[in-house]
Structure 1
Amino acid sequence: MALFSVPTPVTTILLDIEGTTTPITFVKDVLFPYIKENIKKYLLEHWQEKECQEDITQLQKQAEKDSHIDGFVPIPSAISDNETENMIQAVVDNVYWQMSLDRKTTALKQLQGHMWRSAYITGQLKGEVYEDVVPSIRQWRELGFKLYIYSSGSVEAQKLLFGYSIEGNLLKLLDGHFDTTVGHKVESKSYRNIADSIRCSPENILFLTDVVKEAFAAEKAGLHVAVVMRPGNDALTDEDKSSYCCITSFHQINFPSENN
């Protein structure tokens, strides 16, 4: 595959995570299974802590909202210490149920985020990145480019992944993070919001993603885009490949300043 030459106006690179910097399988085969395998142990160990109790309260409130959904799992309030074990099991069952439906409720993401934080800090988890990522972003920084992350995962989850990566702490290489609080990734307005937030013109930003719908939204907002084709990512159609610049590695990205 040929080199992708970045347009001269670009000063900033915006990166997706899943399928772009990090294998999709890391989330599906590592992060999510970790929650399922360790949630009961985590709740037993942290039950008395304020943060854990706040997580439970949010899950209870979400369960009340979900009572109309077929198969929903309620979370009762513990009236006595004797009922704590039943309540913990109810939380476990509720989390399993939400995850089986691939729900992304704030309450679920909050508990998952706290569990992952604990696992990263204790070394049970390390964030995965493709082997071309770190050498490339180091080079881009040296060339003077600003680097930002935009992912559907929370900013906290992003910082954990890059802060405790297999390549060490990569946060110092990044200028900032965005999640869906800035808008959904398939909406053009989200990319304009990011451009406004970093005080940058859309035409000065290159967005790298593996999702064509995101590339379309970003391009519509005035950003430059390239679609990343990694093993395990959704296959692109011939139309997709003809509509967008496609790369299989960050090493294929060529900047004008490299030729000076």
Structure 2
Amino acid sequence: MTAGAIRVVLTDIEGTTSAIAFVKETLFPFAEAALDGFLDAHGAEPEVAAILAEVPGPDPRATLRRWMAEDAKATPLKSLQGLIWRAGFEDGRIRGHLWPDVPGCLRAWHAGGIGLAVYSSGSVAAQRLLFGHSVAGDLLGLFGGFFDTRMGGKRDAASYGRIAGELGAAPGAVLFLSDVAEELDAAAAAGLATCQLVRAADGTIPCGRHPQAADFPAVARGFGLPQPVG
């Protein structure tokens, strides 16, 4: 890829900008610990009451705790966790994890005229919470787009074509960053440039099918993007 060819960086979150462990080691335990207090304070509110009405059994809290222990993909649990996390982000009890190399590069790329966007299996609302309340402050203003699986599956090439269209960019001018080889395969099939983030702390295994980088500065060097100052 020649310097200057990339006009937009489209990034995954887990394993790319942020630790895979953030969800399991921070968000899930936070929701479990905050469950009773949140329901005591907000259980009568219509949005929360509607969620609780969907929880089976005579003791909704017990069912919710069982689902948490099982890591169940139950819709009422996921909805309630989202509300608890939102409260935690907004009052400062949670900060969205970013690897230390990420914020400086995002700022440098934005300042250098490179468009930025996110594509994650987490909802757009969750993406905005993480970057809006991150360890590096509010970074929402750096991004021109947030996309989730409403654009299609992350292992479906058509999804990446749709996103490039939404961004108004030729596929070849979009660089997709992810730790997941199959996602990168799909992006490449749609004509996007790709780079696998291979972060030692996440135990990512290089696939060998795409350019790879240990961090965002290495991405910048490999694709001719602006480097952070300092």
TM-score by length of 2: 0.89
Q: How many percent identity over aligned positions?
A: 35
Aligned counterparts of 2:91 and 2:51: Cα–Cα separation in 1: 20
Q: Which residue of 2 aligns with 1:245?
A: 211
What's 1:219 paired with? 188
1:1-260 map, 5 Å: 8-57=4-53, 59-60=54-55, 74-76=56-58, 86-93=59-66, 95-96=67-68, 100-103=70-73, 105-237=74-206, 240-241=207-208, 243-252=209-218, 253-254=220-221, 255-256=223-224
In structure 2, the CA distance between the partners of 1:54 and 1:206, relative to structure 1 (3 Å rule), is same
| C-alpha distance in structure 1 between counterparts of 2:35 and 2:149, whole Å | 25
**Highest Rg: 1 or 2?**
1
Secondary structure (helix, strand or coil) at the match of 1:232 reads helix
* Cα distance, 1:147 vs structure 2: 0.2
Shift of 1:150: 0.7
1:111 shift after superposition:
1.6
Aligned 8 A contact 2:179 2:198 in 1: yes
Q: How has the CA–CA distance of structure 1 residues 189 and 90 changed in structure 2, closer, same or farther, with 3 Å as cutoff?
A: same
Q: Is the 8 A contact 1:75 1:91 kept in 2?
A: no
Q: Is the 8 A contact 2:8 2:175 kept in 1?
A: yes
Give the aligned CA root-mean-square deviation in angstroms: 2.1
* CA offset digits 1:92-115 (Å, max 9, x no partner): 43x326xx2452x54433221111
3-state DSSP class of the match of 1:222?
Answer: coil
Unpaired runs of at least 5, structure 2: none
Residue 257 of structure 1: how far off its partner (Å): 6.7
Question: What are structure 1's unaligned runs of at least 5 residues?
Answer: 61-73, 77-85
Deviations 1:35-80 (A, max 9, x none): 22222221122111112113224x44xxxxxxxxxxxxx335xxxx
May I ask how many residue pairs the two structures share in their alignment? 225
Superposition deviation, residue 142 in structure 1: 1.4
SS of the residue aligned with 1:10?
coil
Superposed CA offset, 1:97-146 (max 9, x none):
6xx2452x544332211110101111111111011111101110111011
